[in-house]
Chains A and B, each alone.
Chain A
Amino acid sequence: MRRLQPSGAGPLAWCGILLATTLALYLFQHLLWLVLPFLFGLIAYYFLHPPVQRLVFAGFSQEAAANITVGVFAALLIACFALMLPWFAAHAVSVQDTGQRYLQGGLALLDETLRALETRSRFMRDAHVADAVSSHIAAASEGFAQQRLPALMLGVAAWLPSFLLAPFLAYFFLRDGRRFQRFLARAVPNAYFERTLHLLYEVDRTTRAYFQGLIKLTVLDAVCLAFGLWLIGLSSPLMLGLITAVLAWVPYVGSILGCAVVVMVAATDFPGSPTVAYAAVGLFVFVRLLDDFVFMPLTIGRSLKMHPLVTVLMIFVGGAVAGVAGLLLVLPVLGVVMVIGETASIVAADPRLRARHAHARQLRLQSVTRDLG
């Protein structure tokens, strides 16, 4: 019997993996009402998985551990919400005003910076860059408020119920994840069984490493940013750090948006001194560099074992195919499709496994037709 050793996915399989990821992102864009709650459910699942494992380790059954963990987490959330609700009701109007104030502060800083540049550059002065940018922003914000904002608010309101799916999904992933894995494995023919088990394990390992890495990265980012913003002297550094760290889940766009938020707050808190806003930008760039070269390789980078060129290329493809949702989903989807594609290509290309499967089918046919003459 001659065995051919699997040699990994070839270029054709990799083309298939990239194409499948793009197609999946395109489909997901049309099913966002389901995909996003599923994604948040997965994040919650991987966030709650370690405490569930600890309870299992302490002697609880999987079901009891899931019930206790989700119950305690839900109770904490409800308690936080109940504590925050009176504060939010009292400050709802001022929160809106604060948002507008920060926006105005950010725009004032931009205008001030551009005018300062105009005094030093004749080319910019002749082009009236500051006036042009100000009028563009004013027109865009007016158009956004009149045309896009109501639709956006309605969209968010329509999506809200589907987000309630996330905690339910997380609970059932925690309670029945292993059972579901066994159920899937049952559908696989004997010849491919061991390889498929390995595939399921790898998919689980990849997604777990990615999402747990993402959670660790968010905590590290939030702590570093909060500490830096506190040193600069900005208000609510912890909240700002957390918001910007969560925004960074969306590659590129999220980071820029986070930086804009920090700069707006800095410009509003210290209207007379643009140095603080520049310091905030410097801090943001420093944390991003720290993130890209230290934190990311330690957390997410290890999980996805992908070539950086493929990652960057697919981030652009994800953005082009499915917008912001594509940017958010592209890495986890690529990670899962990569594992499935690589294993499926190895399994499909193994002539011995195919022969064993054909032999098993023949045996089954013989066993059911034995008495038919």
Chain B
Amino acid sequence: MRIFGRDDEPAALQPLRQIKLFSSLSARELKVVHGLRHERQYLAGEIVFDQGDEGQAIYAIVEGEVEILRIDGGGSHRLALLAPGEVFGELALLDQAPRAAQARAHGDCRLVVFFRADFMSLLETHPKIASKIALSLARHLGGRLRQANAGARQEGHL
């Protein structure tokens, strides 16, 4: 029997545990993050945020899928289809620049949302947790950059 292991985590923490950004956090640290989250439910086709919106929050998918769309002129094309455990809108944590793409619920979905200001206060109150999340976020962004580079190479730009 594990006394301090993940098996002892309350059921309420399980949705957060599957999110990649928080995979390195201990149960106690996850509980702190749990206190900061907001939960939202979206129906298929509902817009989570628009391209050009001022980003104030980062989203993580607990259930369902979310598509990321780039709006060009009158049309739109899909950049990614995200599954449970993945995060989006993460650039809002780094700056308050406008959203680079639109996020739309692909099916009915449940999301957890973390407000930028709460994350910033986490940096002051729990720097260890914040640095773990920041490291995960850096890895996540690094992965995105590698994907973009690979895509550009395939298209012959690099």
Contacts and interface: CB of A to CB of B under 8 A. Distances in A.
A120 interface: no
Contact of B47 (A56, A182, A356): A356
A169 B85 CA distance: 39
Contacts of B47: 191, 356, 359-360
Q: How large is the interface on A (under 10, 10 to 19, 20 to 34, 35 or more residues)?
A: 20 to 34
B105 to A, nearest CB: 9
Given A197-B57, A198-B56, A190 B115 contact: no
Contacts of B152: none
Which of B42, B56, B126: most chain A Cβ within 10 A? B56
A190 B50 contact: no
B50 A356 contact: yes
B113 A193 contact: yes
B38 A363 contact: no
Contacts of B55: 194
Contacts of B42: 190
A178 B35 contact: yes
Given A57-B124, A360-B43, A363-B44, A197 B50 contact: no
A218 B11 CA distance: 48
Contacts of B40: 190, 193
B46 A57 contact: no
A185 B38 contact: yes
Contacts of B54: 194
A104 interface: no
A57 B36 CA distance: 15
A194 B38 contact: no
A62 interface: yes
A190 B125 contact: no
B56 A182 contact: no
- The 4 nearest A-B residue pairs measured at CB: A363-B43, A3-B52, A201-B117, A194-B56
25 contacts: A1-B50, A1-B71, A57-B126, A62-B35, A178-B36, A185-B38, A186-B38, A186-B39, A190-B40, A190-B48, A193-B40, A194-B56, A194-B57, A195-B56, A197-B38, A197-B56, A197-B57, A197-B115, A201-B115, A359-B45, A360-B43, A360-B46, A363-B46, A367-B43, A367-B108
Interface of B: 35-36, 38-40, 42-57, 71, 108, 113, 115, 117, 124-126
Given A57-B125, A194-B54, A360-B43, 13 more contacts: A1-B50, A3-B50, A57-B126, A178-B35, A178-B36, A190-B40, A190-B42, A193-B40, A193-B113, A195-B56, A359-B45, A360-B46, A360-B47
